[in-house]
Structure 1
Amino acid sequence: MQITNNSLIQFELPQHLACPLPTELRNMPRDAVRLLVTTGAGEASHDVFSNFDQYLQAGDVLVVNTSATVASAFAITLPNGKPGRLHLSTQLSDKEWLIEIRAIEGNTTTRWKAGQEGMKFKLPENVTVKLKERFYKNDQLLDLWVAEFDIRQEEEGYRHRYGQPIKYTQLENPFPLSYYQTFFSFHLGSAEMPSAGRGFTESLLRKLVRKGVVLAPITLHTGVSSLEEDEKPYPEYMEINPVTALLINTAKEEGRRVVAVGTTAIRAIESVANAQGQVKAFRGHTDLYIEDTHQMRVADGLLTGFHEPKASHLHMLQSLAGFEHIERAYQQAIEADYYWHQFGDLHLILA
C-alpha cells in the first residue's frame, strides 16, 4: 500500500483480489467467506464469517437492510447501432427514474457519454425510455439521467421477463437473480445488491438471536454502484419504521452498540439522526453524503465489504473509524489476500 498525505487512504488493488465468483460457484456456503475484524484499539482478527456472532455482545443492535434486488439491466441499441445496456437506478416518481446508459465493449460495459435530451430508447413490448435531463451537471462524472419510463403494464413482471441483474464485466456469464439476494431481502427495489448482508445464513442468525443480539430492519433501495473517484452518492429511497427507531434509540440511551450491516444501513440511520443521536421514523429519499469529516451520531460499528481505491464510501469508513484505522485495515486485507467486490470477503469495523 502506498501511503500519501491525502485525506482519503490510497492503495492499489492487486488484480487477483478483484471480482471473485459467487460462493455458489466456489462450492462454499455464504457464511464461509473470510472476515477481517479491526478495532479502534488497533486489534485485528482474521476469521470466517460463520463466527461473526463471537464479535457481538448481548444487547448489540444489528441494523439490516431488507431491500431486495430487482432485475434492472435492459439490452438496448445505441444511436450508432451498437449494443448497450440501460440500467434503472432510482425511481423518482410514477414515471420518472434515474437511469444510466452504458456501451458494451467486448465483455464489459463502459460509460456512454453521448446522451442528449429527448433521446428515446426502445425496450420490448413497445416500452420506451426518454432522456429528460442530466441529473448531475458538468462537475460530475457519472452520467445519470432523469428519464421517463413509459411502461403500461405490471412493472415487476416486465422486469422479470426482460431484465437482468446489473453486471459490469463478464457479460457472457450472467448469474441468476437469486445470487443477488440476501437473507433479509423482502422489499423489492434495489438496482444492485446491498452486498454486506450476503454472508448471513439462517444458522448464523439463530446464533445471533440466541446470544441476545437485536435485529433492527431498515429499507434503503440502492441505485447503480458505478461511482468513480470523487463522485458523491445520489438520492436513494429509504424507510425506517417506528419500531426500529425505538430499538436504536433505546440502545443508545443504555450505552449498547449499534452496528450497521452495510453502508446503506449507515446512510439510512445517520440520515434521520438528530444532534443527540436519536433516530426518527422516516419514509422518503435521502441525499446524505457522509464525508470523512462527518461526525457519526448513531453507528458504533459497520460490517461491510472492501471498497475500490478512491471510492466515495471510503470517506464513510474513515468518518466512523478514522484514517489510521482504515489505512491499517486495508493494508492488512491486501497482505492477507482478502477478496474485494460484492461476492468477496467482509470487514467488521468496531470504532
Structure 2
Amino acid sequence: MPAKALDFFLPNELNATLPPEKRGLRRDHVRMMVLNRCTGEVNHDRFFHLSHYLQPGDLIILNNSRTIPALLRGKWKRDWNELSQDVEVRLAKRRNEDTWDAFIMANPIKVGDKLLFSDELISTVIAEKENSPLKTIQFNKRGTDLYNIIYSIGEPIRYEYIEKPWGLDDYQTVFASHPGSVEMPSAGRAFSWELLFKLKQKNIGLDFIQLHTGLSYFDEHWELKPEENEEEYQLSAVTMEKIVRTKTDGGRVIAVGTTVVRALETAARTGNLSGFTNLYINEETPLKVVDGILTGFHEPKASHLDMLTAFIPEQHLLHAYHQAIDKGYLWHEFGDMNLIL
C-alpha cells in the first residue's frame, strides 16, 4: 500500500538545529503537545510533566538501541588508483560481523572498488542493490574490532538542518545500551534519569525493546518506501508478558517512538519476538498492542505521519500540527515532543 502524503508548510526556523542542552534547557524540559485520541483535544505542556498524563499500571516501552558514529570519510580507489580525495560513506544497515549496506557519496561507484578510511580500515564494494542507492561493503575488520575503529574515526550522521557537528553523546538517550542505530532513536532523547525515577515512583511501568534504526534519508533523488525500510528488532518474553499483563489489568501500553510501535505490532502479528520488520502502519491498521505513542514532530509527507493516523484521525492530527507550528514547537531529533493518548 503506497504511503499517503500528509503535507503542510514547515518554516525553516522550526527545525531544531542544536540539542536542548545547547539552548539552555534540560533534556526533559522540552515542550510537549498532548493529543486526545478520541476528541482531538490539544494541550500544551513540558515533557517533565509526562507523569501527569499517565496512570498507575500504564507501561512505557522504550528502545534501548545506542547510536553509532555511522558517517565515515575516506578515499575511493579503483584498481588501487585514487579516484577521489574525500568520499563520505553513511552506514545504513548491518548485514553481519564485517558487512554493511551503505550510502556512498560517490558516483558511479562499482563492485570491486575500494574505500580506504584509515591505515587500519579498508572496505570493498561487493554488491549493488537493485533500484536502491545502497551498496553492500565488506570491511577488513569484523565484530568488536570493527566497532572500535568506527568509534575512533566515525561521526554521527547529521542532516542539512543541523548547522554544525555535535558530539556522539548528544545523539544518545540516557538509557541507550546496545550499539547499532545509525540514526538516533530520537523519541526517547527527552527522558532523564530523574523523570524515569519519577514515573517508577508513580507505579508506571518501564521496559525496553531493541530496534537498530537504519538510514532514513539519502538525497533528493531517492525516497525510501515504507515497505523497503526493513529493520531488525528484538524483545524478550518477559517484556511481552508485561505487555499482556498490563492490558489484561486495564493499563495502557505507550510506545516511545515509531520504531517501538513497529516492533511491538510486528511481534503481535507474527508471534516472533525477534526478526525483521517492514510493517507499514496507517489509518487502516488495527493496533493490536499499542494504546498510545510518544514521538517527536515529523516533517511534511513523512511516512511516520501515516503511522500517527492509526492513533488519531488525520484531520485532528493536521489541526494539532498547525497549532504546533503557530506556537513555535521545534521539529526533528533535537526538537519537542508529542504525546498521543
Q: TM-score, normalised by structure 1?
A: 0.87
**1:319 alignment partner, SS class:** coil
* 1:71 matches 2:69: yes
Indicate the residue corresponding to 2:91 in structure 1.
88
Q: Which moved more, 1:166-175 or 1:93-102?
A: 166-175
Indicate the residue corresponding to 1:256 in structure 2.
251
Give 1:176 deviation, angstroms. 1.2
Q: Size of the alignment, in residue pairs?
A: 328
* 1:272 matches 2:303: no
Q: Which moved more, 1:30-39 or 1:89-98?
A: 89-98
Aligned partners of 1:43, 1:37: CA distance in 2, in Å? 8
The residue identity in structure 2 corresponding to 1:214 is G
* 1:189 matches 2:186: no
RMSD of aligned Cα (Å): 2.2
**2:88 alignment partner, SS class:** strand
Aligned partners of 1:229, 1:320: CA distance in 2, in Å? 25
**1:54 alignment partner, SS class:** helix
Give 1:338 deviation, angstroms. 0.5
Q: Is the contact between residue 196 and residue 303 of structure 1 (CA under 8 Å) also seen in structure 2?
A: yes
Q: Which moved more, 1:168-177 or 1:235-244?
A: 168-177
Q: Mark the runs of 5 or more structure 2 residues left unpaired by the alignment.
A: 78-82
- Once the two structures are superposed, what CA deviation does each residue of 1:302-335 show, in whole Å capped at 9, x if it has no partner? 1001111111111111122221222122111111
Of 100, 104, 116, the residue aligned with 1:101 is 104
* 1:28 matches 2:25: yes
- Once the two structures are superposed, what CA deviation does each residue of 1:184-226 show, in whole Å capped at 9, x if it has no partner? 2011111111001111111111111111111121011111131
Aligned partners of 2:231, 2:93: CA distance in 1, in Å? 6
Aligned partners of 2:331, 2:112: CA distance in 1, in Å? 38
Q: Is the contact between residue 245 and residue 281 of structure 1 (CA under 8 Å) also seen in structure 2?
A: no
Give 1:82 deviation, angstroms. 5.5
Q: Is the contact between residue 241 and residue 281 of structure 1 (CA under 8 Å) also seen in structure 2?
A: no
Of 277, 291, 302, the residue aligned with 1:300 is 291
Aligned partners of 1:93, 1:330: CA distance in 2, in Å? 40
Q: Is the contact between residue 17 and residue 162 of structure 2 (CA under 8 Å) also seen in structure 1?
A: no
Indicate the residue corresponding to 2:140 in structure 1.
150
Of 7, 10, 29, the residue aligned with 1:13 is 10
Indicate the residue corresponding to 2:80 in structure 1.
none
Q: Is the contact between residue 229 and residue 310 of structure 1 (CA under 8 Å) also seen in structure 2?
A: no
Q: Is the contact between residue 99 and residue 144 of structure 1 (CA under 8 Å) also seen in structure 2?
A: yes
Q: Mark the runs of 5 or more structure 1 residues left unpaired by the alignment.
A: 1-5, 103-111
* 1:342 matches 2:339: no
Give 1:130 deviation, angstroms. 2.4
* 1:119 matches 2:117: no
Aligned partners of 2:112, 2:279: CA distance in 1, in Å? 30
**2:233 alignment partner, SS class:** strand
Aligned partners of 1:19, 1:78: CA distance in 2, in Å? 33
Give 1:155 deviation, angstroms. 2.0
Q: Which moved more, 1:88-97 or 1:41-50?
A: 88-97
Q: Which moved more, 1:255-264 or 1:70-79?
A: 70-79
Indicate the residue corresponding to 1:239 in structure 2.
234
* 1:37 matches 2:34: yes
Q: Which moved more, 1:57-66 or 1:78-87?
A: 78-87
Q: Is the contact between residue 64 and residue 197 of structure 1 (CA under 8 Å) also seen in structure 2?
A: yes
Indicate the residue corresponding to 1:108 in structure 2.
none
Aligned partners of 1:7, 1:192: CA distance in 2, in Å? 23
Give percent identity, aligned residues only: 38
